[in-house]
Amino acid sequence: MIHSERIRPLNNNAVYDKKFVLYWMQASARAGYNHALEYAIKKANELKKTLIVIFALTPGFPGANARHYHFMLEGLFETRNALLKRGIKMAIVIGNPPDIAASASKEACLAITDMGYLKIQRLWRREAAEKIKCAFIQVESDVIVPVETASNKEEFAARTIRPKITRLLEKFLAPLNETRLDLRSAGSNIKDKEYSNIFKNAGEEIIPCPSGDHGTGAIIKNLGADPSVKPSSFYRGGAAAALKLLEEFIENKLDDYAGLRNDPSLGFLSNMSPYLHFGQISPLYIALKVKESQKKKTAADVYLEEIIVRRELSMNFCHYNDNYDSFEGLPEWVLKNFRERENDRREYIYTSEEFEKAMTHDHYWNAAQLEMAATGKMHNYMRMYWGKKIIEWSENPREAFKTAIYLNNRYELDGRDPNGFAGVAWCFGKHDRPWTKRPIFGSVRYMNENGLRRKFDIESYVKKTAELCRAEGVELPSLTHLMEKNHGGRNPEEI
């Protein structure tokens, strides 16, 4: 089922009688459970044309490095193969996305794209809409309830968006059926030679797909991506890896998710966020699988709250607030709050570089930073603590915001995601309520290491992290400290 709310024309041009339907794949980079893809197939069948899929790979995407490109490419090659099995050709082309989309659409009847929520993705769609000469339609496949359908404004908190989303779930939490591309009528209308011409002017197509590691190394080098952040050996990119993790999560962890998800010393998370970020798995598919699972209803509800309400609150934030990635995007009461605390004394002040190298006095914080640097994903609970402490130990909250965004975007596989921006902003009070006033934070929620000790076996988290960092060959002085003493800088007697 593709609801009309997911579909929006981005220009007023006509559908031509030309050679093929084009799907400019960008945010939903997958062959399964993709509304934009299914819509494109239906249109191709209606028009009796073939379908061509194109993905534009941007060299120098802001903040993207070898870790991100590697994960994305693993997924893209898998998607290309999966589409081929459905009789659909997909080209991965290096260049500027709107130019590639425009150029590739020259011989197209109709162009389809999907929907990402970052500013740069909005800009690409706008630019493409100006350049594409045929009809150009956007089909949303990255959320369960389309953002503008759920709400027409920036929401204040989870509690304000929750009723708006839940009342629409009956409608939008619905399965998506696959349509087969009708190859008999479509197959003959484009020849291989013509096909390759489509991309000639658009950019350089990535052809190689050797077995083994997919040969991403050379491609990443060609793209000029920052090699200093290494690919993660903990998370393999692609839909197959995502589905396997999801299955395992539902089978073994979902029942205890409500009670154990916050414990950093355990691993009761679904770890879907990197895959969701790169569009390698559908949030709708995950939600349906969890809902249909024969697991405890409360557990499933807690998970659904996170993957639907909280995740889509972050899309709402990025969609309606252009300053989602800067300090100025925070609510007025927060800005006023921090202005009043400008001159509060800071006991520790670290630079962005010191944070990056995990050189703080706090071993819990250092462990969290190292976990992120080594694996590409920090435990969700530690992300809160991590962000709160950057506020406490920076020159000022504006610097803190910059540091947190920089580090999150650089090391997290799910960095540069609406969830990441909303998560950082949450640490600064966004979407949260005020609490007891205290130094530096004012009435923005405070967190401290006592909470970690009170609630979890946090020492075992530190130990676990130190071990996996060593296994990864992380060589930082902070790691040695982590191995030697792991009591958050205090004597064991005090604990």
Site residues for DNA per CB under 7 A: 155-160, 162-163, 262, 306, 310, 313-314, 331-333, 336, 380-381, 384, 422-423, 426, 431-437, 443, 445-448, 450-451, 454-455
For DNA, the closer of residues 75 and 418 by Cβ is 418
Placement of tokens 């425009």 in the chain: 102
Nearer to DNA, 396 or 443 (CB): 443
Cβ–Cβ under 8 Å, residues 409 and 372: no
Residue placing its CB nearer to DNA in the complex, 186 or 427: 427
- The nearest distance, CB 299 to DNA, in angstroms, is 15
Task: Name residue 68's amino acid.
Answer: H
Closer residue to DNA (CB): 191 or 433:
433
Q: Give the list of residues 6+ apart from residue 126 with CB closer than 8 angstroms, or none.
A: none
Closer to DNA by CB, 188 or 436: give it: 436
Residue 376 in contact with residue 411, Cβ under 8 Å? yes
Please give the single-letter amino acid code of residue 40: A
CA distance 61 to 233: 22
Min dist CB 43 to DNA, Å, is: 35
Whether the CA torsion 171, 177, 181, 182 is positive or negative: it is negative
* Helix segments in 432-472, DSSP class H: 449-455, 458-471
**Structure tokens, 264:** 């950093």
168 vs 183, beta carbon nearer DNA: 168
Please identify, using beta-carbon distances, which residue of 131 and 310 lies nearer to DNA.
310
3-class DSSP string for 63-81: CCEHHHHHHHHHHHHHHHH
Give min distance, CB of 194 to DNA, in A. Answer: 48
CB 339: neighbour CB atoms within 10 A? 10
Contact in structure between 254 and 292 (CB atoms under 8 Å): no
Complex with DNA: residue 126 or 455, whichever CB lies closer: 455
- The least CB distance from residue 164 to DNA, in Å, is 8
Cβ-contact 167, 137 below 8 angstroms: no
Whole-number minimum distance, CB 258 to DNA, in Å? Answer: 12
- The answer to whether the beta carbons of residues 10 and 42 sit under 8 Å apart is no
Q: Which residues pair with 7 in a beta bridge?
A: 139
- For tokens 């202005």, the residue is 339
CA distances from 289 to 29, 249, 292 (A): 20, 11, 5
